[in-house]
Amino acid sequence: MIAVAIIILVGSCGASLTSDNSTPEESAPIVLTGDEIIVTMGEYESQLYAPEDISVNAGDTVVWDNKSGLHNVVFGKVPEGVDAEAISRKTLAREPGPAHSVKFEVPGEYRYHCSPHLELGMVGTVTVQ
């Protein structure tokens, strides 16, 4: 039974690998200036964002830094007028390092998750003041 669950989990991760919603901005390396707020993905091989919930000011940039594993950042709930798909990174980060960044301009609550690890509780919230 455990082997079947592992095959299903690996199969579902592989299905996400074929979905490519990358934009030219995603393929460019992210250069950190020291002014960004960093959220780690998969630190210590966990299936979590750390910190899970953050508060930032309008105009701040958040960078998701992949520590281990295959992770993405998919926004679900966003403030009215914000394009959730445009600020999401649906392709999986495969390599360690800065994987995605968003400059938050519109105040409100932004909820996001990692597609392959949603059922494991890999979710996060950015509250913009």
Residue 28: what pLDDT? 76
Residue 62: what pLDDT? 98
- 13 as an active site residue: the answer is no
Q: Phi and psi (nearest 5°) for 22?
A: -70, 150
- 71 as an active site residue: the answer is yes
Alpha helices in 1-129 (DSSP H): 2-17, 24-27, 84-87
Residue 31: what pLDDT? 82
Q: Classify burial at 38, counting beta carbons within 10 Å of its beta carbon; exposed 0-12, middle 13-18, buried 19 or more.
A: middle
Q: Which two tokens stand for residue 120?
A: 């494991």
Residue 16: what pLDDT? 28
Identify the residue whose tokens are 């994987």. 99
Single out the catalytic residue among 41, 100, 113, 122: 122
Single out the catalytic residue among 41, 100, 113, 114: 114
Q: What is the pLDDT along the chain (129 residues), one digit of tens a residue?
A: 433 333 333 333 332 222 333 443 456 788 888 889 999 999 998 999 999 999 999 999 999 999 999 999 999 999 999 999 999 999 999 999 999 999 999 999 999 999 999 999 999 999 999
CA 127 – CA 104 distance, rounded (Å): 9
C-alpha Rg value of the chain to the nearest Å: 15
- 113 as an active site residue: the answer is no
Residue 4: what pLDDT? 35
- 117 as an active site residue: the answer is yes
Alpha carbon distances (Å) from 39 to 6, 9, 96, 99, 122:
27, 24, 13, 10, 12
Single out the catalytic residue among 41, 71, 100, 113: 71
